[in-house]
Chain A
Amino acid sequence: MDATGVNEYAGLRRELEIGLRIAPTRESAVAAAKAMASYLDDDPTVAVRLAGVCGDTSRVTFTLAICLGTIEEIKGADATSRSALGLIQRIIDSLAAYDPSFVTLPHAASPEARLAAHLVSAVDGEMSTVITRLVASV
């Protein structure tokens, strides 16, 4: 472990996550979820998580938290940060039909974040199946 490793083990590794939300209509939520799910764990060099799911409005919104890298990686425009930029760009291009936009990440205790955590962790099925059920239950 190097000198910086101490900080990392104390949980002080400083990374920045960017919130990116897609907002499909209810009718297209399942298709959007399928498209979005492919980005969650696909690129091993970029950490992506589902940070929020909400259906309180006319749209179903999915918020992804995409790790832009550590502060050092961001400042140096390292490969990890450039990969993250590339991933954000791919999501924006591929999911353009669902109005992808930057958003503030939901607080971990918010219903939106709790529902996302519940979806990700409590279900062994595919995300798209879960969303199908979620949308069907509304």
Chain B
Amino acid sequence: MATVPGDDFIITASNHIGRKVPNLMVRGMEESEVFAHAPAMVCDRVHWDTIDAFDPRDLLPDLGMEAYVRCWSDGQHRVWVPEGRGYEAREVIRQWCVDHDVETVNMRVEAGVPFRNLDLIPDQLFPELIAAAVDWLYPRSHGIRRKIVTELELVDDQDVRSMMYLFISDHADRYDAGREGRNGTLNFLAFLIGKMRTWPQDAARQAYGRNVMSDRVALARAIDVIAATEQRAPTEDELAGALRTSVTDLRRREQAISTLSSLRNPHSLVIGERDLDTMDAVQVAADVDVEGEAIDHDRNAQLTRAIMSAVNTPGSSARRAQDPLALAAVYLTFWEGLGRSDVARELEVLPKTVAASVGRVLEQVQTADLL
């Protein structure tokens, strides 16, 4: 196990030091106790869509085998059956649909998938577990949330939290708690973090079609390679070569990407300088005072270091060796420009507490001779 002794640090997949994500707790119960109600199984999954509204529970009595149904947020139909019986179940379902005049679309089998029958978890514990997972993940997934909002038309910031809830609900039945990784047993949050990495891309593929999004990823990758190795934007010939297509087809695909993703300049940085937004252009005025700026940056950096040394001395035995409240009070006072009572209101403390915190920090900064 790749842990750093003495703490809950781990070595991440990218060989950085990270922290273990916590096990979730619901009503005082560990997540493992909640999931124990719905043990992990391996099943075959029959998956299809229908033209009209349809409830797959209707066909279970006629299926002739143990089967489970669970609704995912995409509205498609899924039935889980014992491993090895997926193709048999598909034929029964297909015949049932013909007999009952249900028009099916793209019926397929995925064999050997992990599954938990989450309906067995009692007392609303499962929704609470998802809510706890969202609470933990939401503030820590800013990059993913931004991608979702940018990639998908009509999705706003305030939609992402409920989308995340549905995403987790959809993926929970696939959680295989027994899996061992380099950092020990996979817990629910670590499982979800892994799934969320491709969430924006998968959502965009679902919204716009697999081909367009795959082209976009392939284009970005090709441009990255040339930019990194030759420090220049690729030519159309090179891009077409990377996608193994003609320049005409490349232009058609770029147009499709631009239209469907609804981003006016989908790759203003990726595709070089074509149709570059003015906001992306970076210009330097000729009369910039380089020396003056350097002095300002240096002074601000010194001040920052002094403030940090006042609020963060983890090795010391002082009572406030790490004092985030003091940093918050100083930041709100001097960078947000709030008065003492406003800072107190923001931080939900007494004004005298704010004054004491700011005073302590300023005292140390003054000893560093920066004020």
- A residues at B contact (CB < 8 Å): 1, 5, 8-9, 11, 13, 15-16, 18-20, 23, 38, 40-49, 54-60, 67-69, 71, 73-75, 77, 81-86, 88-89, 92, 96, 99-104, 111, 114-115, 117-126, 129-130, 132-134, 136-138
Contacts and interface: CB of A to CB of B under 8 A. Distances in A.
Nearest to A9: B161
Contacts of B151: 121
B227 A133 contact: yes
B288 A8 contact: no
B304 A102 contact: yes
B324 A68 contact: yes
B305 interface: yes
Interface in B123-145: 127-128, 131, 135, 139-143
B77 to A, nearest CB: 29
Interface stretch (B15-23, B52-60, B237-245): B15-23
Contact of A125 (B223, B285, B346): B223
A115 B280 contact: yes
A41 B19 CA distance: 12
A38 B12 CA distance: 12
Given A11-B158, A47-B139, A96-B301, 12 more contacts: A15-B139, A45-B19, A77-B324, A85-B308, A92-B308, A96-B305, A120-B147, A122-B150, A122-B263, A122-B267, A124-B221, A137-B281
9 smallest A-B Cβ distances: which pairs? A55-B282, A101-B300, A121-B150, A81-B324, A125-B224, A99-B301, A99-B297, A49-B142, A58-B290
B324 A82 contact: yes
A110 to B, nearest CB: 9
Interface of B: 12, 14, 16, 18-19, 21, 127-128, 131, 135, 139-143, 146-147, 149-151, 158, 161, 193, 201, 216-217, 220-221, 223-224, 227-228, 231-233, 263, 265-270, 272-273, 277, 279-285, 288, 290, 293-294, 297-298, 300-301, 303-305, 307-308, 311-312, 314, 320, 322-325, 327-328, 331-332, 335-336, 346-349
Contact of A117 (B146, B331, B348): B146
Contacts of B294: 58
A91 B285 CA distance: 29
A38 B17 CA distance: 11
A14 B323 CA distance: 18
Contact of B143 (A55, A84, A115, A120): A120
Contacts of B127: 1
Given A11-B158, A11-B161, A86 B224 contact: no
B147 A121 contact: yes
Contacts of B304: 20, 92, 100-102
Nearest to B162: A9
Contacts of B161: 9, 11
A56 B282 contact: yes
A46 B305 CA distance: 20
22 contacts: A1-B128, A5-B131, A11-B161, A40-B143, A43-B18, A45-B21, A56-B282, A56-B284, A57-B284, A68-B327, A75-B347, A85-B308, A86-B322, A96-B301, A102-B304, A114-B279, A118-B269, A121-B146, A121-B150, A122-B268, A125-B227, A133-B233
